[in-house]
Amino acid sequence: CMDGVMAVRFILGRSGTGKTSRCIRAIAAALDEPSEQPLIFLVPEQATYQAERAILADHRIAGFHRLHILSFDRLQFLLLGKNTAKPRLSRIGRQMLVHKILREVQDDLQVFRTSALLPGFARQMAEMVTELHRYAGTPEDVAELAAQLGKEQGGRLAAMKFADIGRVFGRYTALLEAKYTDPEAQVNEACRVVGRTDFLKGARLWVDGFAGFTGAEIALLGELLKVVADAQIALCLDPETLGPQPPAADGLFEPTEQTYGDLCTMLRDAQIEL
């Protein structure tokens, strides 16, 4: 199916129940087939080497060329390699850029005008910018939120605060596009090019080793699921704990259950069969 995934299958189980082994066996079997269909194994950065060794340990596999073992960072590099020549901003570099922007727009700020240049404020604003990027936020999203709050009774102060944040965020985004690369912002750009990337179209996808995803990573995974032909996602989760109610806040598997819920919501919104 070249136009989107037929369905997504979750592989659920407690630690040690064989989820990763199942993925490795399935990938090795797919590599042993006489086919040129691309295969994608998406794992955390620290697990890529281990996954490669595990697949090559299968006696049938002497090597491979159509399997891509990727982390989210490596996937972004393959999608955006042409843009990686720009200087990459570090955490300190992000704060310095935000501080520069605050100096430039200080007179236009409504709530933060007097505090814009106070020690520590640029760091706090840079953390806000980072979180917005992690969860696929845009300056337009912030402006829309400010407008909505402005219509609510008692929401004027909050609206003014978000208008200030949106002004800084918009200027920051514009500077990024012109001069720099922010690793947190790259995911959003990667989402836009997934559908135009040949090695992803019609591929088989396995996802393993993640306890959770940022909002931006879920967005990128969602774009992948729209173009691959088959997908399986392994989660360390006891299937017996799943039910119609939200997971308990103190449950042993609560963080992964929340991830499972977020993924199910994403699949439902994208109209992908589970």
Owner of token pair 């040949």: 198
**Mean pLDDT, residues 34-62:** 91
- pLDDT tier, 251 (very low <50, low <70, confident <90, very high otherwise): low
**Mean pLDDT, residues 211-235:** 89
- The phi and psi torsions of 260 (rounded to 5 degrees) equal -60, -45
- pLDDT tier, 85 (very low <50, low <70, confident <90, very high otherwise): low
Report the DSSP pairing between strands 230-236 and 204-207.
parallel
How high is the pLDDT of residue 62? Answer: 78
pLDDT exceeds cutoff 50 at 1 = no
Q: Higher model confidence: residue 232 or residue 134?
A: 232
pLDDT exceeds cutoff 50 at 22 = yes
Whether the pTM exceeds 0.85: the reply is no
How high is the pLDDT of residue 94? Answer: 87
Number of H helices, E strands in the chain: 10, 5
Least confident of 18-27, 37-46, 184-193: 184-193
Mean residue pLDDT across the chain: 86
How high is the pLDDT of residue 86? Answer: 63
> Which residues lie below 8 Å from residue 46, measured CB to CB, with a gap of 6+?
none
pLDDT exceeds cutoff 70 at 247 = no
**Burial letters 91-114, b for 16+ CB under 10 A, else e:** eeebbebbbebbeebeeebebbee
How high is the pLDDT of residue 100? Answer: 94
* Spatial CA neighbour of 200 closest among 222, 217, 185, 184: 222
**Could you tell me what percent of the chain has a pLDDT over 70?**
89
Q: Higher model confidence: residue 257 or residue 112?
A: 112
The CA distances from residue 109 to 94, 100, 119, 166, 220, in Å, are: 20, 14, 17, 10, 33
Q: Within 5-90, where are the H helices?
A: 19-32, 48-56, 72-80
Task: Write the pLDDT tens digit of every residue in 201-210.
Answer: 999 999 999 9
How high is the pLDDT of residue 253? Answer: 55
**Mean pLDDT, residues 245-257:** 62
Q: Higher model confidence: residue 87 or residue 210?
A: 210
Find out whether 111 and 84 touch, Cβ atoms under 8 Å.
Answer: no
- pLDDT tier, 64 (very low <50, low <70, confident <90, very high otherwise): confident
Least confident of 141-145, 232-236, 253-257: 253-257
In angstroms, rounded to a whole number, what is the distance separating the alpha carbons of residues 40 and 262?
A: 22
How high is the pLDDT of residue 243? Answer: 65
* Spatial CA neighbour of 239 closest among 214, 224, 222, 256: 256
- pLDDT tier, 6 (very low <50, low <70, confident <90, very high otherwise): low
